[in-house]
Structure 1
Amino acid sequence: MRILFCVIIAILCAFGSYAQKVDADGVPVPASVVKKPVNGRYHFITEQGDTALMVVLNNVTVFPPMKFKNKKQEEFYWRTVRDVKRTLPYAKLIAETLLETYEYIETLPTQKEREAHLSQMEKEIFAQYKPQLKKFTKSQGKMLVKLINRETNQSSYNILKAFLGSFRAGFWQTFGKFFGVSLKTSYKPDKNADDAIIERVCILVEQGQL
């Protein structure tokens, strides 16, 4: 479990520290006024010098009642519900900060400065996330890697490669595989039965039905 924690920390360190603010109603507030979705639901826009809040209603997906083929599938389903509820917020956090952190890293003029920034960031993020992540089970760690793929539409390996380079990404991939964690984990709910169940659970959690 220790190595799984280190792999997850490595993924988080690729994005930078991020402290999301919320208003009195719990609505996410970005650092600056933007015209794109925050959490896929809220848009902050400026009209005539004023800041307005628009609520965009999400589509609602209705599923037929779940029918389990056997006891094993039922156990997988409820284990998936537990793991998705635990890890989906972290996957969304990573997706939300991906672009912001990438743009910041690009402003640093030299590779040395980027490495120094990542090193400092690693210390800060380790301290911030250690209490939560060290409680993750192995299955929850694997679920987080899979949901990062869902939220960003790319594998954790490719994300690490983009930020840290091929060598360091390859190191973490090899390191993780010794403990059953592949950063190249795919997510294909349209082709994989287990992923289809995960997608169903994710949607139900997002809609507040689980």
Structure 2
Amino acid sequence: MLQIKSNINYIKPLLIIILLSTGIAISAQNDTIRKQDIILQHQIIENDTLPHITLKEVPVLSPFKFKNKRQKRRYSKLVRNIKVTLPYARKASATINDINTNLSLISDTKERKAYLKKREKELFAEFETPLKKLSFSQGRLLIKLINRETGDTTYQLIKEYKGGVSAVFWQGIARLFGSNLKSEFDREGDDVMIEHIILMIDNGLI
């Protein structure tokens, strides 16, 4: 029992390094809604100009078919964990794009390193506490969701922003505790249940 607690306590700093290495700012509550001018398409019908709007496709989702009660309990647990971690992964994608945009404007190597260090320091100060609240299972789930939302594994992201040595080191630490930073999201295989839950959440069904 003590060993399990020790493992969980040790993996939390790992998760912080993983997420902050990619420059993730994680508070969905802090999102600012910007006002935008919306230009609508139009159609002219019998001398009248009418707005023409293409509606977003709405998928029709059927309830997940459970094989047994154990799978149903796993589904319920995943719903709770995905609602906690999905905003983190999606914020990761947006923030990584922002960082890459800024880096593209910086040609000097020292300035690029200084910029990344500054972002990491700011984010660590702001989000260290909420990240520590993640459970072990939520942390492992987040690694997969980051791959789903960004198209890159966490290992690839650390390697890109922190270097190959850091990526190899943290991958080794992660494997000691049953995690894999190279985990990829398989929406049609092992992660079909997770994909179903995400689609249900996105469509306001759960």
Q: What range is the shorter-chain TM-score in?
A: 0.7 to 0.9
Please report how far the alpha carbon of residue 164 of structure 1 lies from its aligned counterpart in structure 2 after TM superposition.
Answer: 1.9
**Seq. identity, %:** 34
Given candidates 11, 14, 24, the residue that maps to 2:18 is: 11
Q: CA RMSD in A?
A: 2.5
* Deviates further, 102-111 or 52-61: 52-61
Deviates more, 1:117-126 or 1:149-158: 117-126
The answer on whether the counterparts of 2:21 and 2:158 sit within 8 Å (CA) in structure 1 is: yes
Q: Does the Cα contact within 8 Å between 2:13 and 2:132 map onto a contact in 1?
A: no
Q: Give the whole-Å Cα distance in 2 for the aligned partners of 1:208 and 1:95.
A: 22
Structure 1 counterpart of 2:57 = 59
Q: Which residue matches 2:142?
A: 144
- Aligned partners of 1:29 and 1:190: how far apart in 2? 36
Task: Check conservation: 1:9, 1:125, Cα contact below 8 A.
Answer: no
Tell me the CA shift for residue 53 of structure 1. Answer: 7.0
Q: CA deviation at 1:99?
A: 1.7
1:121, distance to aligned residue in structure 2 (A): 2.5
Pick the structure with greater CA Rg: 2
Larger RCO: Structure 1 or Structure 2 (Cα < 8 Å, ≥ 6 residues apart)? 2
Gaps of 5+ in 2: 1-7, 41-52
| TM-score between both structures, scaled by the size of structure 1 | 0.76
The residue type equivalent to 1:14 in the other structure is S
Summarize the alignment of residues 6-155 of structure 1 with structure 2, pairs less than 5 Å apart.
Answer: 6-16=13-23, 21-22=31-32, 28-29=33-34, 44=36, 51-52=37-38, 57-155=55-153
The question of 1:198 aligning with 2:194 is answered: yes
Per the alignment, in what secondary structure is the counterpart of residue 75 of structure 1? helix
Bigger fraction of residues in helix: 2
Distance 1:141 1:167 in 2: 22
Deviation, structure 1 residue 63:
2.3
The 3 A distance-change label for structure 1 pair 73 and 160 is same
Q: Which runs of 5+ in 1 are unaligned?
A: 23-27, 31-43, 45-50
